[in-house]
Amino acid sequence: MSEKTKVSLGSVQKTLLLPLWGRAKESTKANPLLIDTTAVNLMDKIDYDFSTMEENLDEISQLGWIVRCIHIDRTLKQFLEKHPNATVVNVGCGLDTTFERVDNGAFRWYDLDLPDVIDLRRMLIPENERRKYITSSAFDTRWFDEITVEDNTLFIAAGVLYYFDEAQIKRLFLEMADRFPGSEIIFDASSPFGVKMANRMVIKTSGMDEKSFLQWGLKSAHQIEKWDMRIKLLDAYPYFSRVNLGGLGLGIRLKANLFNFFKASYMVHLKFLEL
């Protein structure tokens, strides 16, 4: 049996283990909403005690990570139908495994994260000709120079942006609009109510510390359009919508409906217009 890889990460970076565990757990269910064999394999390679998550996390939290993947996978596939040779940048990639689920054999893919995360990724998931790693903070936009674009660009930011404040995110979006006109971004956001609930229900109960708390609460996706005339809202919808949850129990479906009603978490899809 091969030796497992030890995890040594900062407080925010350590939250990457939450969705990894969620995807692996879902993949082993009898009737999974998402199958991610790479996540299952990664769990077997990592030396980390996931028992706190297993024992304490509510089922709705685990379901949230799954539906987010479903939404992003769908958006990526639709984008790639129009732009098969697109460039995709996974901002704050963590141990995300979207590449394996949507690879069309043609796109360029960049996984971007901080040094400790990229070091861990390199030990677990090798780069290849079309998949490259970038070691950088998302907000140090010198990483733009490492991106090659032949067609169009789609940025994805799953479970990332709400760990930062609005001023940082606004600056990042405006710099993306400057450098990559015509590109798009899909990300998940939480309302101010959702941020409070996530910090109480997920971060604390999963064994993370207060340095991992969410910060940015976005009441309405339309607020972002006010930042700059080049930012166009293409779509925004609650987490637990547009996914068939009929096979789940009544209790979890009621919770999902409550999350949707209060707009606790939702997906946002933007385009940076060419003017």
φ, ψ of residue 130 in degrees (nearest 5): -105, -5
DSSP state of 179: H
Cα 84 to Cα 109: distance, rounded to the nearest angstrom: 12
Cα 74 to Cα 40: distance, rounded to the nearest angstrom: 21
**Which pLDDT tens digits describe the chain residue by residue (275 residues)?**
468 888 877 655 677 888 999 999 999 999 999 999 999 999 999 988 888 888 878 888 899 999 999 999 999 999 999 999 999 999 999 999 999 999 999 999 999 999 999 999 999 999 999 999 999 999 999 999 999 999 999 999 999 999 899 999 999 999 999 999 999 999 999 998 888 877 765 555 545 555 567 889 999 999 999 999 999 999 999 999 999 999 999 999 999 999 999 888 999 999 999 98
Q: What is the pLDDT of residue 117?
A: 92
One-letter amino acid identity for 113?
Answer: D
Cβ atoms of residues 72 and 156 within 8 Å: yes
Q: Indicate whether 231 belongs to any domain.
A: yes
Q: Indicate whether 2 belongs to any domain.
A: no
Residue 17 has, within 13 A of its CA and on its CB side, a CA count of 28
Cβ atoms of residues 52 and 206 within 8 Å: yes
Tokens of 263: 């707009």
Q: Indicate whether 110 belongs to any domain.
A: yes
φ, ψ of residue 171 in degrees (nearest 5): -60, -40
Q: Indicate whether 184 belongs to any domain.
A: yes
CATH number of the domain at 229, please. 3.40.50.150
Using CA atoms of 217, 222, 228, 229 in order, give the dihedral in degrees to the nearest 10: 170
Q: Indicate whether 78 belongs to any domain.
A: yes
Q: What is the pLDDT of residue 1?
A: 46
If one counts the domains in the chain, the total is 1
Q: Indicate whether 4 belongs to any domain.
A: no
Cα 255 to Cα 259: distance, rounded to the nearest angstrom: 6
| Structural domain range at position 263 | 9-272
Report the interhelical angle of 17-27 vs 59-82 (nearest 10°).
Answer: 90
Three-state SS annotation for 64-83? HHHHHHHHHHHHHHHHHHHC
Q: Indicate whether 1 belongs to any domain.
A: no
Tokens of 24: 């692996």
Q: Indicate whether 126 belongs to any domain.
A: yes
Where do runs of H (alpha helix) occur along 87-235? Answer: 98-102, 115-124, 166-179, 192-198, 222-225
Name the residue among 185, 152, 145 with its Cα closest to residue 169. Answer: 185
Tokens of 244: 């068939």
